[in-house]
Amino acid sequence: MPRHPDAIIERNQILSDARMRLPSPTRKSQPVSRGELADAVNAALDRLYPDTAKELRVDARWIGKLERGEHRWPGEERRAALRAALEADSDAALGLFNPRRTDDQSNVNAGRFPFKAKVQVKLKPPAQIDTSVAHPARRYDYWLGGKDNFAADRKSADAIEARFPGMRAGIRANRDVLRRMTEFLTAEAGIRQFLDIGTGLPTVDNTHEVAQRIAPESRVLYVDNDPLVMAHARALLTSSSEGFTDYIEADLRQPEAILAAARDRDRLNLSEPVALMLIAVLHFIPPGKGQAQAIVRQLVNELPAGSYVAATHFTVDFMPPEEKIRYQQLLDAGISDIWPRDEAAFSAPFGGLDLVDPGITLVNQWRRGAGADDIDPSRISVRGAVWRKP
Ligand SMILES: C[S@@+](CC[C@H](N)C(=O)[O-])C[C@H]1O[C@@H](n2cnc3c(N)ncnc32)[C@H](O)[C@@H]1O
């Protein structure tokens, strides 16, 4: 239980204050009602926990009890749905603290916390999510062994894998190298700020978890252009209390908007080194017009010396010839939007930066630990490297 009695009152005031400031989606100039907030929480439950959402549903009375402090510490699923519905990046931002955790710094400080200044909430209409159609991020989640996917995603993923049997191994190796690169950047390069573009659905070892395991004060700004990814990320990726995470829905093709959001409210301090993470995202930028190069240049130009870029990218260079042909057919038919690049095209945007050892490798080879599996290169269609800005 928070130690300071004022904290209990203040904590529960936050939710009702937040609700009173939100516009009702149906009644002009009125604050959102408890029932409308309950609807938004239920929609978030449906999105995040489709299997159990029914049992977890809340109503206006439940919201009232929460505001009055009668529900001190709702279960993880309901807290996640509340964070998603109110676009809050932590439980603390909603004034919710785990009453059993006496080591929680927020509890120690309870009552003196500038809660109101910290709360940034707005109610969004729930995104329309069609679970009967395969979705790229959910398909990716399935290949990684996650649970945020539906039958249509699994069917589509299995069909792709039947044609490209290396798919799952390559994707898993890519996710593993994201962890190893983040470990290198935090533990060896001393980086404490990460701009992670192309977040993907939360899964094991997300960037901030890896970095904060080594340096709890690490700050991570996640960027993705997919609202489904962002809804999950906001709800499920919560920072250590010493560090910081935030999420913005933005497009890699608009680097100036990403940089402006990074500067906004000092999410990242761009006068201190930053690691720009471009893990399995640059290949969504089509080749030919120098667009990938222009994007990377624009982002890197705004980072100080001593910053790093970690990037991975799809390639068909090691695929068996028949798979290469099949892949080209998918591109020609407009079925795939993932553009392979060879080593020269992958590295072109990073000219002028210093390549970190061991250079550009297939992702399973990059600083892999002793005893790591030797996977046939034709199964791993992803290259990766880390560069340092001199
Ligand atoms: C293959 S996942 C990679 C996830 C994670 N970085 C990893 O490697 O495990 C690619 C992510 O990039 C996002 N993405 C694709 N194009 C993007 C763009 N133009 N701007 C921002 N995000 C993009 C997708 O929504 C997806 O979540």
Report the residue among 182, 284, 299, 314 best suited for mutation to probe ligand 1: largest number of ligand atoms under 8 A from its CB.
284
List pLDDT tens digits, range 6-31: 444 555 566 666 666 666 666 666 66
Q: Which residue has the higher pLDDT, 145 or 309?
A: 309
- Tell me whether strands 219-224 and 244-249 are parallel, antiparallel or unpaired: parallel
- Looking up tokens 């939360």 gives 202
pLDDT at res. 126: 46
* Cis peptide bond upstream of 358, omega within 30: yes
Q: How far apart are CA 172 and CA 383, in angstroms?
A: 13
Ligand 1: residues whose CB is within 6 Å? 137, 140, 174-175, 178, 197-200, 224-226, 229, 251-253, 279-281, 284
The alpha carbon of 158 and the centre of ligand 1 are apart by a number of angstroms equal to: 20
C-alpha 276/C-alpha 44 separation (Å) is 30
Q: Which residues sit opposite 361 in a β-bridge? A: 384
pLDDT at position 29, please? 62
Which atom of ligand 1 is closest in space to residue 144's alpha carbon?
A: 9
276 vs 387: CA distance, rounded Å: 10
pLDDT of residue 107: 41
Question: What is the three-class DSSP state of 173?
Answer: helix
pLDDT band of residue 212 (cuts 50, 70, 90) is very high
Mutational pocket test of ligand 1: of 149, 167, 225, the residue with most ligand atoms within 8 Å of the beta carbon: 225
Facing residues of 196 across strands? 222, 277
Query: Which pair of structure tokens corresponds to residue 271?
Result: 């006068």
Give the Cα-Cα-Cα angle 114, 119, 121 (nearest 5 degrees): 170
CA distance 380 to 170: 4
Residue ranges per structural domain of the chain? 5-118, 136-388
pLDDT at 331: 86
Q: Which residues contact 82 (CB under 8 A, 6 or more apart)?
A: 41, 44, 74, 88, 94, 96
pTM of the predicted structure, to 2 decimals: 0.72
Label the pairing between strands 308-314 and 382-388: antiparallel
CA of 120 to the centre of ligand 1 (A): 25
Each residue's pLDDT tens digit, 343-372: 999 999 999 999 999 999 999 999 987 656
Task: Pick the closest to residue 238 from 93, 73, 45 (CA basis).
Answer: 93
Per-residue model confidence (pLDDT) at position 121: 42
* pLDDT (tens digit per residue) in 169-191: 999 999 999 999 999 999 999 99
Which atom, in ligand 1's list, is nearest to the CA of 175?
9
CATH class of 136-388: alpha beta
Q: What are phi and psi of 367, to 5 degrees?
A: 40, 45
Fold equal for 5-118 and 136-388: no
| Atom 1 (ligand 1) nearest CA | 280
Percent of the chain, pLDDT > 70?
83
1.10.1740, 1.20.1070, 1.10.8, 1.10.260: CATH of 5-118: 1.10.260
Nearest-angstrom CA–CA distance, 344 and 149: 35
DSSP letters spanning 41-74? HHHHHHHH-TTTHHHH---HHHHHHHHHTSSSS-
- CA-based end-to-end distance of the chain: 49
CB atoms within 10 A of CB 110: 23
Atom of ligand 1 nearest to the CA of 312: 8
pLDDT tens-place string over residues 237-293: 778 889 999 889 899 999 999 999 999 989 999 999 999 999 999 999 999 878 999
Tens digit of each residue's pLDDT (9 = 90 or more) over 77-115: 898 888 888 877 777 777 777 766 644 444 433 333 233
Which of 34-38, 97-101, 371-375 is predicted most confidently? 34-38
